[in-house]
Amino acid sequence: RPMTCPFQYQVYLNRQRSYRELPMRLGETSTLFRNEDSGEMHGLIRVRQFTISEGHLILRPDQLEEEFKGCLDLAKYCLGTLGLLDKCTFRFSQWDPANPNNKYEGTAEQWEEAQRVMAQILKDLDVDYTVGIDEAAFYGPKLDIQYKNVYGKEDTLVTIQIDMLLAEKFGMYYIDENGEKKLPYIIHRTSMGCYERTLAYLIEEFAGALPVWMAPEQVRFLPVTDRACDYCADLARQLSDLGYRVDVDYRNEKIGKKIREATMEKIPYMIVVGDRDMENNTVSVRLRTGEDLGAMPLADFTAKLKAVVDSKSLDLN
């Protein structure tokens, strides 16, 4: 499937719905497939199989502004947490009135109404945006959250869309307080977008040196000799039991080489363990920046790691 919309609508259509059940907020993490041209494919940014956090909110017209604001808050929270929000811009993507038969469903009146409502919401929410003509979805206008890659090319990270058209096509009525059949509005939204694309921008943004809380490997133990291997295994298990992502380099290689490789791989923390550490019950901590923090008890390192991870800090120390 190339999108989740019709599948989530089936949940709504499972039985008759009352106005009291709205808004209905549906969301899932799904694997989607799109047969992009080979020329369009680009690293992790545009791929044919991808993972997306996609949701649909089915709501009464009077709920539109509040629910739209909730979607915008969620997207801002996700992108802010990932550290990408500061570089994002907002685009109000509209249809092309000069070329309505291009791809657009619905009448000019319906489009003008949807865009008028969306402009009002963006004004109320104080969103600074640019306008993109002919960038709308075929069923409605969008708020696109745009990100520029290192080459200056802009891509959409997250999108929130107002749809006043598709509910009728799918027969998605609800019963209002007067017992009458009414058509809901739908918001299509992502929260952190396509995982592969967002990941590509994260790798680019941090040049591979991901913040500790999201680094796939947070700590690597580097035994100086075979004698330190059991000690490292034991400490690694302690950190792993606390929920950290830890590995041990057991290879029979020179310590300089192990440090060099871990640094190249941008592993945030390297724990070098030699005979003296074992005698003193300490660990020697090095950062991927090359800084050497020296020897300390494992408990001190664990406290430092916890503080950095819990605060989602970009610093290592």
Q: Which is nearer to Zn ion, 142 or 258 (CB)?
A: 142
- What minimum distance in Å lies between the beta carbon of 3 and Zn ion? 6
CA distance 37 to 225: 52
Tokens of 295: 């020897």
Instruction: Give me the least distance between CB of 139 and Zn ion, in Å please.
Output: 8
188 binds Zn ion (CB under 5 A): yes
> What's the first-to-final CA gap in the chain, in angstroms?
45
Closest CA to 302 of 254, 269, 272: 269
Q: How many residues does the chain have?
A: 317
Looking only at the bridges linking them, the beta strands covering 174-175 and 17-18 are parallel
Work out whether 5 is an interface residue with Zn ion (CB under 5 A): yes
CB 214 within 8 A of CB 202: yes
Between 141 and 268, CB nearer to Zn ion? 141
Could you tell me which stretch among 5-13, 18-26, 218-226, 289-297 binds Zn ion (CB under 5 A)? 5-13
- Give ∠ CA 249-252-256 in degrees, rounded to 5: 70
Rank residues 5 and 175 by Cβ distance to Zn ion and give the closer one: 5
Q: What angle do CA 51, 54, 57 make, to 5 degrees?
A: 170
Nearer Cβ to Zn ion (5/214): 5
Nearer to Zn ion, 157 or 232 (CB): 157
Rule CB under 5 A: say whether 189 interacts with Zn ion: no
Choose the binding region for Zn ion from 60-68, 142-150, 185-193, 262-270 (rule: CB under 5 A).
Answer: 185-193
- If one counts every other C-beta atom within 10 angstroms of the C-beta of residue 302, the result is 18
Site for Zn ion contains 229 (CB under 5 A) = no
What is the smallest separation between the CB atom of 187 and Zn ion, expressed in angstroms?
A: 9
What is the rounded CA–CA span in Å between residue 133 and residue 235? 58
Q: How far is the CB of 145 from Zn ion (least distance, A)?
A: 16
H/E stretch holding 201: helix 195-205
Q: How many amino acids of this chain bind Zn ion (CB under 5 A)? A: 2
**Nearest residue (CB) to Zn ion, 51 versus 149:** 51
**Cα gap 185→15, rounded to integer Å:** 18
Q: Is 287 in the site for Zn ion (CB under 5 A)?
A: no
The residue among 166 and 228 lying less far from Zn ion, judged by its C-beta, is 166
What would you report as the CA-atom Rg of the chain, rounded to the nearest whole angstrom? 25
Query: CB 71 → Zn ion: shortest distance, Å?
Result: 12
Q: Which stretch binds Zn ion (CB under 5 A): 22-30, 101-109, 187-195, 199-207?
A: 187-195
With vertex at residue 254, the alpha carbon angle to CA 249 and CA 260, rounded to the nearest 5 degrees, is 70
Q: Toward Zn ion, which CB reaches closer, 68 or 269?
A: 68
Q: What is the pattern of x (binds Zn ion, CB under 5 A) and - over residues 144-183? A: ----------------------------------------
The burial class, CB within 10 Å (0-12 / 13-18 / 19+), for 214 is middle
**Amino acid code (one letter) for 67:** E
Binding site for Zn ion (CB under 5 A): 5, 188
